[in-house]
């Protein structure tokens, strides 16, 4: 696992300990088995973004703080120049670039998401999180699976959905795809 995942896990453990919350209690509150939670906190396993949202909400901190260790400070406006967003490489096939990481008290989380084509036949890594999500494809084609629905999205297409349902993206045509994702809490 990357050093970034280990750092996020360390921040997660520190938060839990500062607030004197047991691993059992936090696992129960975010709705996962204790054994799964302990794996995430070890830093040896990637933590799904949906769980990071739940945890940041529970501890009333910005998601950016959990991901980067920095606290956003801007409150009038935030500008992020091309390629200068907070990079979050969560899985080998996906790269997330947070486009408002330095703005405090956001009501949404905007990301530029890059999905690389599958290089193996690994299982889908579905995720879910509270709220809703809007995606707009700017390059390539994607297969979006939401619960039991399969949607093909091409450049210029958009979708808005209840993100509490399990969902996953796959790049199609053996080509990289990019989209803007706005997560609304």
The domain limits of the chain are 3-68, 86-184
Q: Which stretches of the chain are DSSP H helices?
A: 3-18, 23-30, 34-42, 49-58, 63-68
Assigned architecture for domain 3-68: Orthogonal Bundle (1.10)
pLDDT at residue number 90: 59
Between 49-58 and 23-30, two packed helices, what is the crossing angle to 10 degrees? 110
pLDDT of residue 1: 46
pLDDT (0 to 100) of residue 176: 96
Q: Provide CB contacts within 8 A for 24, sequence distance 6+.
A: 34
Contact 128, 163 (CB under 8 A): yes
Residue positions counted in the chain? 185
Per DSSP, the residues of 16-52 read HHHTT--HHHHHHHHTS-HHHHHHHHHTSSPPPHHHH
Q: What is the pLDDT of residue 71?
A: 83
3 state SS of 166: coil
Q: What CA–CA distance (Å, rounded) separates 122 from 140? A: 21
Please provide residue 63's backbone torsions phi and psi, each rounded to the nearest 5 degrees: -55, -40
Fold identical between 3-68 and 86-184? no
Report the CATH number of the 86-184 domain.
2.60.120.10
Residues (pLDDT < 70) of the chain are 1-2, 89-92, 119-124
Average pLDDT in the chain: 88
- Tokens in use for 173? 């045509």
Q: What is the pLDDT of residues 14-63, one digit of tens each?
A: 999 999 999 999 999 988 999 999 999 998 888 877 788 889 889 988 88
């Amino acid at each position: 696992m990357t050093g970034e995942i280990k750092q996020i896990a360390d921040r997660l453990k520190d938060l839990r300990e500062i607030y004197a919350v047991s691993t059992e209690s936090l696992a129960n509150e975010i709705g996962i088995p204790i054994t799964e939670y302990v794996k995430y906190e070890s830093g040896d396993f990637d933590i799904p973004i949906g769980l990071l949202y739940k945890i940041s909400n529970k501890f009333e901190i910005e998601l950016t703080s959990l991901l980067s260790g920095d606290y956003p400070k801007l409150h009038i406006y935030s500008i992020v120049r091309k390629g200068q967003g907070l990079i979050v490489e969560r899985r080998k096939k996906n790269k997330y670039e947070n486009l408002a990481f330095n703005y405090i008290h956001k009501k949404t989380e905007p990301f530029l998401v890059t999905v690389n084509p599958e290089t193996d036949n690994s299982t889908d890594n579905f995720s879910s999180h509270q709220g809703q999500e809007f995606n707009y494809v700017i390059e390539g084609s994607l297969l979006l699976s939401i619960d039991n629905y399969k949607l093909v999205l091409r450049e210029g297409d958009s979708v808005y959905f209840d993100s509490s349902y399990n969902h996953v993206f796959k790049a199609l045509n053996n080509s990289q795809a990019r989209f803007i994702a706005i997560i609304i809490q």
